[in-house]
A and B are shown apart, each in its own frame.
Chain A
């Protein structure tokens, strides 16, 4: 109201809508104090692809764990302490020399949050969602992951019921590495299936 020397930038339309939602929901008592800060902090520091990398590295060094992971992904991932919302029905799909897996969510960008954090922006964009189903080999090549013609590509469309995680192949030349060192090799993109290690 009052004039002052400091003028904050005017809010964009979407910022105004979010501010209105925040006011309404706070007024209704649905947003506990500090809730938004806490959940943002968790996703920016605790819940991210390092969790998935630890799962992958464990599977690489422990055949029993790998078998459990491929049989019941949710339970095996919970063994390492990861789980909860957005990850309650996890299916892990294994890359082999003959098969390459890649995940997508054509409808709404479902994603295995507990093990990968929040999705990268391209995962949520319409071209990725549409083209990964229609022409996965071409799109993978464009994304820097060209695959030999004899490698079968399996595209897994996430849904409300199931979230997928790709188990990448263990790179050659890593026989002497520790589990922690191996986890450091695993990229987020390799667990989505748009990169190979």
Chain B
């Protein structure tokens, strides 16, 4: 089944990292979610994850980063109007 040492065409992680975003807005919304998780939820990712699960379930065929955007919008709705100073 396997053909060791004949691995051309596979995605070899020789170089760490790869182009993971197709457009700048995708990396922006990824970073925004990380910022909110860090700075408004003390690093707790679960509230965002729950919104993401809901967003994907609501429109299963929607592109992933668009669901991510919808999830972040929904999460932001749950924030208090003003941050605690």
Interface residues in chain A, defined as those with a beta carbon under 8 Å from any beta carbon in chain B: 14-15, 17-19, 21-22, 24-25, 28-32, 35-37, 39-40, 43-53, 85-86, 107-110, 117-118, 120-121, 124-126, 146-148, 160, 169, 171-174, 184-190, 195-197
Q: Is the CB of B28 within 8 A of A187?
A: no
Please indicate the chain B residues that have their CB under 8 angstroms from the CB of A21 in the complex.
29, 32, 69, 72-73, 76
| Count of B interface residues, CB-CB < 8 Å | 52
Q: A189 and B10 in contact (CB under 8 A), knowing A30-B40, A31-B35?
A: yes
Q: Is the CB of B32 within 8 A of A52?
A: no
Q: Is the CB of A173 within 8 A of B25?
A: no
Q: Is the CB of B83 within 8 A of A53?
A: no
Residue of A40, A126, A188, A195 near B30 (CB, 8 A) is A40
Q: How far is the CA of A174 from the CA of B2 in the complex (A)?
A: 13
Q: A51 and B16 in contact (CB under 8 A), knowing A14-B69, A147-B1?
A: yes
Show 11 residue pairs from A and B whose CB-CB distance is below 8 angstroms, ordered by the A residue. Answer: A21-B69, A25-B76, A30-B39, A39-B30, A44-B17, A85-B37, A126-B60, A160-B49, A174-B5, A196-B1, A197-B2
Please indicate the chain A residues that have their CB under 8 angstroms from the CB of B43 in the complex.
85
Please indicate the chain B residues that have their CB under 8 angstroms from the CB of A124 in the complex.
64
Q: How far is the CA of A186 from the CA of B79 in the complex (A)?
A: 43
Identity of the chain A residue whose Cβ is nearest the Cβ of B59 in the assembled complex: A126
Q: Is the CB of A50 within 8 A of B16?
A: yes
Q: How far is the CA of A17 from the CA of B74 in the complex (A)?
A: 12
Please indicate the chain A residues that have their CB under 8 angstroms from the CB of B36 in the complex.
25, 30
